[in-house]
Structure 1
Amino acid sequence: MKPLILASQSPRRKQLLEQVQLPFSIQVSNVDENVLEKLPEDLVVSLAYQKAAEVYRQFPTQVVLGADTIVTAGGEILGKPKDAQEAKNTLRKLSGTLHQVLTGVAILSEEKEVTFVEKADVQFFSLTEEEIEDYVKSGEPFDKAGAYGIQGIGATLVESIRGDYFTIVGLPIAKVVRALREFPIQRDPF
């Protein structure tokens, strides 16, 4: 049995793997996440694959899991905001609208490679300027695609979702666990 490596520094992805009692270690990849000219589905899987591949090259006898999450609204990819003004602008775009969250996953080993993308729709409430200001002041938007985290204070901005909640958090954990069953990884019984 092989060790599982998570190619991500995301505390949310780490927490989700711990939640399902999968033993793993973390090796952060340094892949440039600047948006390239690709369709969102292709982009998010490509970034997940690049992250996993970078770590896999260092640990070719192990199983490596990479993931990436993007938010799209009106055909625009909304990345992580660089500053408070960009976070406010992003939240204004999302206010009162339906947008899509995509998480791409790549799992690499000597034996095989699996990639997939999961999508979820998120409807935001119409936000007041005060709500936007307060949320940005919380500091939560700054390391998250689309400038919000549904697993934190950002949950108060969300009117409804259609799809897998964990895709929005950053790792569609049920599908990941099922995909990992095809790999010879070390696991705790559950």
Structure 2
Amino acid sequence: MAFSIYLASSSPRRRELLSQIGVSFDLVPAVIEEVPQAGESAQDYVLRLALQKAQAGFANSKRKKPALGADTIITIEQKILEKPRDKHHGEEMLKLLSGRTHHVLTAVALWQDGYSKSVLVKTEVSFKKLSDREISDYWQSGEPIDKAAGYAIQGIAGKFITNISGSYSGVVGLPLFETAELIKTFIKEVNQHR
């Protein structure tokens, strides 16, 4: 797949994943406000953020190719878990995930010249029961600080996962199969409309 896009993300994980599927990209800044709107579902929220990132990235680019935005959130008990604000918040989220199954929602959106296409991937992840010591030690590792729900499946937290149903790469931050298909379809459709 010899496609070239703009990537509206500062995530090193998303850069690695896009490179893994052979997509070349230029990084563009995309700073948006990440706050759920009143009555907005988790799915609508994550899709909106991905699209807004793609739009912001495109606006900051040379506008010659599509911009890709992505966002990942975690939900449990109808609560949206985002990045931890501090140690206490991070540890509270890990306690909530301990011994339970949660959902990871990753949305990917492409935007170019007013045309957009997006996809939402939902993955179930189950955690083993965590001791207070495991939670404290994990926080001290520094890994949870900038991760949705305070954990990284591709890092130390991988040892906490008892089951995953869905896209592993989606939990990391970019579902590879769905992203590759989205880019291919998007570029084909944009070219047809020219």
One fold, TM greater than 0.5?
A: yes
State TM-score, norm by structure 1: 0.92
Q: Return 5+ residue gaps in structure 2 as ranges.
A: 189-194
User: What's 1:57 paired with?
Assistant: 59
1:61, distance to aligned residue in structure 2 (A)? 2.6
User: What's 1:39 paired with?
Assistant: 41
State TM-score, norm by structure 2: 0.90
1:135-162 per-residue CA deviation (whole Å, 9 max, x = no partner) reads 0000111101111000111111111111
* Number of equivalent positions: 184
1:115, distance to aligned residue in structure 2 (A)? 1.0
Alignment check: 8 A CA contact 1:61 1:110 kept: no
By relative contact order (CA 8 Å, sep 6+), the higher-ranking structure is 1
| 1:117 aligned to which of 97, 120, 125 | 120
1:126, distance to aligned residue in structure 2 (A)? 0.4
Q: What CA distance in whole angstroms lies between the structure 2 residues aligned with 1:77 and 1:12?
A: 21
**Alignment partner of 1:28 is 2:42:** no
Letter in 2 for 1:121: E
Where 2:24 maps in the other structure, the secondary structure is coil
1:2, distance to aligned residue in structure 2 (A)? 7.6
Q: What CA distance in whole angstroms lies between the structure 1 residues aligned with 2:115 and 2:177?
A: 20
Alignment check: 8 A CA contact 2:3 2:23 kept: no
Where 1:17 maps in the other structure, the secondary structure is helix
Q: What CA distance in whole angstroms lies between the structure 2 residues aligned with 1:53 and 1:18?
A: 22
User: What's 1:155 paired with?
Assistant: 158
Letter in 1 for 2:42: P
1:25-67 per-residue CA deviation (whole Å, 9 max, x = no partner) reads 1112111113333100000000000011011123333210000
**Alignment partner of 1:167 is 2:170:** yes
Q: Return 5+ residue gaps in structure 1 as ranges.
A: 185-190
Letter in 2 for 1:127: L
Q: What CA distance in whole angstroms lies between the structure 2 residues aligned with 1:2 and 1:136?
A: 38
Alignment check: 8 A CA contact 2:49 2:71 kept: yes
Q: Percent identity?
A: 37
**Alignment partner of 1:85 is 2:88:** yes
Q: Over aligned residue pairs, what C-alpha RMSD do you find?
A: 1.5
Alignment check: 8 A CA contact 1:91 1:146 kept: yes
1:104-151 per-residue CA deviation (whole Å, 9 max, x = no partner) reads 111112383111210000010000001001100001111011110001
User: What's 2:192 paired with?
Assistant: none
| 2:131 aligned to which of 128, 131, 136 | 128
Letter in 1 for 2:32: V
| 1:98 aligned to which of 98, 101, 109 | 101
Letter in 1 for 2:64: T
